[in-house]
Structure 1
Amino acid sequence: MLSFTVFGQGVNFEHLTFDEALAKAKAENKLIFMDCYTTWCGPCKYMTENVFPQEKAGEYFNPKFVCVKFDMEKGEGPELAKRFGVRAYPTFFIIRPDGTMQHTVVGGGEVDDFIARIEKGLNEKTSLDYLNKLYEKGKMNKKQLIAYQIALLDAYDKAKSTEVSEKLNAVLKDKDKMKKEYWPIMENDGYGSDNFKLVVNNVVTFRKNIGKEKVDSYLYNNYSRAIDNTMRRGAKEPAAQLNQIRQELANLDLEKKDQLTAKLDLIEAAVNGDVEKVIALASREDSGNDVWSIVSALTTLKPKATKEQAGRIAALGNKFIENAAPGREKAYLETVFEGFKIAAHTGIYFQELTYEQALEKAKQQRKRLFIDCYTSWCGPCQYMANKVFTQENVGDFFNKNFICVKYDMEKGEGPELGKKFGVRAYPTFVIVNPDGSIRHKLVGGGEGEEFIKRVEESFDDEKALGTSITKYNEGNRDKAFLASYAQTLLDLYDPAAKDVANELFITLSDEEKVSPDYWFIFDRKELSPKGSDAEKFLLANRAKFNATKGKEVVDTRLSKDLQRELMEILATKGQAIKATRFDEITKEVKSLKLSNEKSLLGLVAIGRAVKNGNVDRFLATCEKEMPKVKADKRLLNYYLSQLTTRGTDAQKARWKKIADKYL
């Protein structure tokens, strides 16, 4: 195996197996530096892209180590993770040629700081393995305990670190903690801890021993984090905490105190719910606040902002987005301020996204998609778009709960999405889970509050379509469930409704079939078409159905198809209709002995006259039969009036009298 180290470059990670790395380390009398990472780990990527490529890193690591890296989720990574007890990412090991661990560092850092942490592992007396063994012997002095605690903190060993910390506190005095060698431990204790208070109360001594820059940076960072933490969910008495910090800063000579005071003013306004003050401070060029503090304060107040205030915040965000670095930072700010743009919008905010983009956004924001499947010619679609979706209460509900998109089912990706979602009528509204599965589906619109209530059913596992599909596919054949599922599919014009209803029909007893609970099977032609077992049962048990549903309801169901056919005959001018068909309908009507028999036979007579084409005969038939007919008067007027357009003035006048009297 031939390899060489290239100087003047970053860390040279070699493509070796772990055993090959051990063999090479033994041959070259080197230690192994092993980077344990994952592809999704942000700090891992930072080290790979920003630290290890530096020349300084290469100059330090390449001469001293055989450098290798392993993805802990691929190849031999999982086995190595188990072997060395990897619990966090990134984890870095210094390993001897015999395969034993000498030192561990968890987490990255800037190049100088990271090299200093690794250097401790090269020095046997400050390496984790040496100190572990020494501690087990119970023979550690104060200096060694300090070194051990630092090594444990670097290795992210919380349990052992807590144990050693207690022993240190028992033997160390404040003057010991002020020494330079103890500073790495002090740095790990944040605002409010005893060590932090020690630094604040003895800042002059710490600056002298440690250096002003390091001490001031420690104080600034911890005060900054403490201020930010007051906005966290569940923060205890945030206003009192901010006031305490303000008092402490007043007595502290700190170089960047003005920046902390500016952050205090901003966060205090946010904690107090003062939207106007936060907007004013965020708008100032000289506010002294960084963009992330401003974004955090604005986001906290989002639920309290009016639409007008949300609009101003969205406009303010353009400045921050423009100045942001390309990539994640800019994308994050765009998402944040788009939220304010949506909050400022009256009505539903439909986003212009492809379906894949919308789905990706749903995953990121952990929201469902609300999809409006429409066509340009659909009247109800236009009504929803112009009258319902523009309402403020409707927008507030949908914008809060969904990412909203709309697609024309006849353009672009609409036809494909129509097939995917089984769209058979317009408008159809589909609610999609972030994983792309259908949660719920609705056909037809409705007024604002009514429509919201229909959509709220998607939140209920007992009513959501997606849940029903899952239950059905998993074998649930409970009668009540099948009844509910069949009716849901029926409302969606889904042909699967017939199959589900058939399954239900087969399981029902004769007594259950005539129950009002299952009348929907017989009431809808789609579920009990002509010649089906369901229709046969209805005809055979008509008297029982009359008792449970009422004769008029049952007769209406039996006559519905015949009346529909007769109305269609009247609507289709010029179509050849065989006289025998009128004879067949007449025979069927009389055999059923329907309560609206006279109405149906009247329509048969009028139909014959229409197809005959003789205006006088048509008028005479209407005068005789119209008093008996009970049908849609508006449609009858529209269909029948067309026959008289070519008649004489007398015939037209005669028709007008009929229409005025009966239609």
Structure 2
Amino acid sequence: MKKLLSVFVGLLCSVAVFAQTDFQELSLEEACKKAKTENKPIFLDCYTSWCGPCKMMANEVFTLKEAGDYFNKNFVCVKTDMEKGGGPAIGKQYGVDAYPTFLIINANGKLMHKVVGAMPLEKLIESVEIGLKASSLAEYEALYQAGKLDLTEQMAYWKLLSVSGDVVKAQSVGDNLWGKLTEKDKLSAAYWPLLQSRATSLESEELKFVCANRGHFEKEIGKEEVGDLIYNSFMSELNLMIVYQLPAKKYDKIPGIRDLLENNDVPRKDALFKMIDLAEARGKYDATGFMDALDTNLDVLNDSEKSWVFEGANLFISMFKDKAQLKRLGEIAIREKELIRDEVAKSKVTKIAFNFRRAGNDGVYWENLKTLREVLAQAEVEDKYVFLDCHNNGQTTKAIDDQLFTQKEVEDLLNKFFINYRVNLEEGEGAKVIRRYGINIPNVMLVLDKEGNVRHMISNVMNGNFIERVQETFDDNKAFGVLEARYVSGDRSPEFMVQYLTALSKVANSSKMALVAVELFASLNDEQRTSPEFWMLYNPQFSGISSEMKNYLFSHLQEFREKIGTEKVDQTVVNQIYSDLSSVLYTQGSRYTVDDINNIIQFIKRHDIQDSQQLLCIANITKLFKSKVHSVKDYKRACKGLKPENIPFADLYANILAVEPERTDEWNAWGKEIVESLTDPGYIQWYKQFLQL
């Protein structure tokens, strides 16, 4: 029984496969080999991931059984994303500049035919057959230029040019042919496609010719097709008026269009009247009137008409920057998107719905969704990144809310380009976010892609240019998550490692910074190590744990000064020495010995380091401390020449009195002397509190 069931399921799967177009994952070279073996031409679907019509063809046309029956039988079928892999090369080779484009290629790789644009299956098959049955475009062109094509052959040539997407040449050939036709020819069904392509304007002579001979054409061509032609002529005019702000004189035609519609038999009159109302408001720059017209009787429009109307609303209402109107458009679009069945139209209206709902909000719009999974699903629908604010209930969070997220520039940026979502790390999904992304401190901002992977990370958000750091999301050379993925995948090129270190410094990952800096330093030669390109390596935040880097800096000091500049180099050296000496005072069990400190003192004197006098004072103070000298008298002597506010008194006081508390009086007395020598009120107040004066 199980065996029979398996066979039955297998048969069902086989039927499912052959019920639709079987696009194979082949390179063009592999497809040509297969085409030779099977003695078939290649049908190549050229698409992009962002192309709505491409998705419509993939989901609604090539899934049909009739499509599979035709294309699987007659072609080796292949799909190619024109922005990935071999796609760009194919596009350049065959002149693909619009999507979708369907190429018919023979087994030798020669282009036989090209069909451009989305269309119903019947029209696609007809367009493909035109190319298969006809001579090549080059042959037609040669005969056309020589004047050797009769009217029927010129019509065939025009059809071939039209379906191949050569609009300019098709227009030229069509104009020439139309000028040669007699009225009898123009009434013939054979030339109806040419007449149909030209009767696109309500003012065109060709449309007037159709209307004057409507009864004849309805009998020869069909009442529905003639009605569609007249409807499309109205739509082409009204679409332009709704989607674009045309010159005022163009909108002067609206009363005439309304009269023409009222007095003639035109399909979908109710829809066209609504389009006229919208076009009229658009022409008057009347946003309220436009929105009032949009908000009533939208059910008279079909999905395609709604797509056009909302595209026009998107462009028109955006001009006014009126939050109430923006929000209203978002609410209408949210309501209507649920009623639209066409996937391309639904996707367009959905994006408008959420974009305008956010744009009409006061402040950053935070999605009111229950889970991150729902937010990522929303990101998939809108094709956007998720801006995830990982916060808690602390004072820093409140400051960010009050001082950062209230800024209009921040609001505009986040609402326009992101789906914004907040997670309290101490509640709800907080624990899941902590586990998934390793967030161990609050007020870190993550940018996630549609799959939930980290695209970018921003910490210390109140420091630096927040907007600039958010915009790094869109730069693959700065987005933290992109660089992290490249590092994990094994990219160790020096140029990349510098980019990665810069990103790590911005998210304050000090432990990872140090490791990456050591790794980069080890991979460089001497010329690279002293070049300005890699100077950042010697910042103490990177080299603090690496004695090799620090020793290299000190031993090549003069070379660095010549390439980088004395002031810049000496400042870094001073910072490094201060960092080393401070570690003796701050870190119990510091590995620095008195000999190490003596070497530092000799280095400072030998190289005439900037600010050497104060640096030598700190070195001598540290040497006394390391030598376990606890007498105030010795420290006061070592501090001569040091500004009172720069004396590390508090650290010495705490460390020495922890060992010899009986010296408290003498250290308190020195503290009072320092207070009397200070001029800065802030320092004076601090010392008094510290010494309890």
TM-score w.r.t. the length of structure 2 is: 0.63
Query: What SS does structure 2 have at the residue aligned with 1:91?
Result: strand
* Deviation, structure 1 residue 319: 1.2
C-alpha distance after superposition, 1:415-469 (max 9, x if no partner): 77568xxx9x8756678999999889663516xxx855775996999x9798993
Unaligned runs of 5+ in 1: 26-31, 567-577, 641-658
- Name which of 275, 290, 293 aligns with 1:278: 290
Instruction: Write out per-residue CA displacement over residues 345-365 of structure 1, whole angstroms, 9 at most, x where no aligned residue.
Output: 333345678699879959976
Q: Structure 1 residue aligned with 2:192, among 183, 191, 195?
A: 183
Q: How does 1:142-291 map to 2 (within 5 A)?
A: 142-158=151-167, 160-173=169-182, 176-189=185-198, 191-192=200-201, 196-200=204-208, 202-209=210-217, 210-230=221-241, 237=247, 239-244=248-253, 246-252=255-261, 253=264, 254-270=266-282, 272-285=284-297, 288-289=300-301, 290-291=305-306
Aligned ranges for residues 30-69 of structure 1 at < 5 Å?
35-38=43-46, 40=48, 46-47=56-57, 49-51=59-61, 66-69=74-77
1:593 lines up with 2:640 in the alignment = yes
How far off is 1:36 after superposition? 2.3
Following superposition, the deviation at residue 137 of structure 1 comes to 6.6
Find the aligned partners of 1:267 and 1:344 in 2 and give their Cα distance.
23
Aligned pairs for 1:249-648 within 5 A? 249-252=258-261, 253=264, 254-270=266-282, 272-285=284-297, 288-289=300-301, 290-300=305-315, 301-325=317-341, 330-350=346-366, 376=392, 379-392=395-408, 394-400=410-416, 411-414=431-434, 417=437, 443=460, 445=462, 455=469, 469-470=498-499, 485=536, 502=553, 507-509=559-561, 515=567, 517-518=568-569, 520-522=571-573, 524-525=575-576, 529-530=580-581, 537-538=603-604, 545=611, 554=614, 559=618, 581=628, 583=630, 587=634, 590-591=637-638, 593-596=640-643, 600=647, 622=668, 625-629=671-675
SS in 2 for 1:185: helix
Offset at 1:184?
0.7
Task: Give the 3-state SS of the residue equivalent to 1:264 in structure 2.
Answer: helix
> How far apart, CA to CA, are the structure 2 residues paired with 1:20 and 1:601?
80
Label 1:627 to 1:188 Cα distance change in 2 as closer, same or farther (>3 A). same
SS at match of 1:148: helix
Cα distance, 1:465–1:528 mapped onto 2, change above 3 Å: farther
* Paired letter, 2:188: K
Sort the Cα spacing of 1:426 and 1:626 in 2 relative to 1 into closer, same or farther, 3 A: farther
Equivalent in the alignment of 1:109: 119
8 Å Cα contact 1:599/1:628 also seen in 2: no
Q: 1:324 to 1:44 in 2, by over 3 A?
A: closer
Higher Cα radius of gyration: 1
Question: In 1, are the aligned partners of 2:570 and 2:609 still within 8 Å (CA)?
Answer: no
Q: Distance in 1 between matches of 2:44 and 2:645?
A: 87
Name the aligned partner's letter for residue 590 of structure 1. R
Please state how far the C-alpha of 1:395 moved relative to its aligned partner. 2.2
Once the two structures are superposed, residues 160-204 of structure 1 have per-residue CA deviations (whole angstroms, 9 ceiling, x without a partner) of 53453343144234564343221212333364598x442136513
Q: Which moved more, 1:299-308 or 1:319-328?
A: 319-328
User: How many angstroms does 1:292 deviate by?
Assistant: 1.8
The one-letter code sitting in structure 2 at the alignment partner of 1:529 is D
Given that 2:645 and 2:683 are in contact with CA atoms closer than 8 Å, whether structure 1 keeps it comes out as no
Distance in 1 separating the partners of 2:285 and 2:530:
52
Q: Secondary structure at the match of 1:323?
A: coil
Q: Quick one: which amino acid aligns to residue 572 of structure 2?
A: I
Q: CA RMSD in A?
A: 6.0
Cα distance between partner residues in 2 of 1:634 and 1:345: 47
Letter matched to residue 412 of structure 1: K
- Cα deviation for residue 214 of structure 1 reads 1.9
Q: Which amino acid aligns with 2:274?
A: A
Going from structure 1 to structure 2, the CA distance change for 1:622 and 1:356 (only over 3 Å counts) comes to farther
Contact 1:348/1:390 (<8 A) preserved: yes
Equivalent residue, structure 2, for 1:574: none
Counterpart of 2:306 in structure 1: which amino acid? Answer: V
Residue 445 of structure 1 aligns with an amino acid whose one-letter code is M
Counterpart contact for 1:199–1:206, Cα < 8 Å: no
Q: Offset of 1:584 from its aligned partner?
A: 8.2
Q: Give identity over the alignment, percent.
A: 18
Opposite residue 239 of structure 2, the aligned amino acid is: D
Q: Give the stretch that moved more between structures: 392-401 or 605-614.
A: 605-614
What's the TM-score once normalised by structure 1's chain length? 0.65
Q: Give the aligned residue type for 1:220.
A: Y
Give the secondary structure class of the aligned counterpart of 2:213: helix
| 2:447–2:473 CA contact under 8 A, matched in 1 | no
Counterpart contact for 1:606–1:622, Cα < 8 Å: no
State the Cα deviation string for residues 505-560 of structure 1 (Å, max 9, x = none).
56433898763x556425535875235998865455678537xxxx7xx46x9659
Equivalent residues of 1:310, 1:340 under 8 A apart: yes
C-alpha deviations, 1:242-281, integer Å up to 9, x for none?
3335534523523334422311322443465433223322
Work out the CA distance in 1 between the residues paired with 2:259 and 2:654.
Answer: 98
**In 2, Cα distance between equivalents of 1:241 and 1:118:** 39
Equivalenced residue count is 587
Q: Determine if contact 2:47/2:101 at 8 Å carries over to the other structure.
A: no
SS in 1 for 2:364: coil
CA drift at 1:71: 3.4
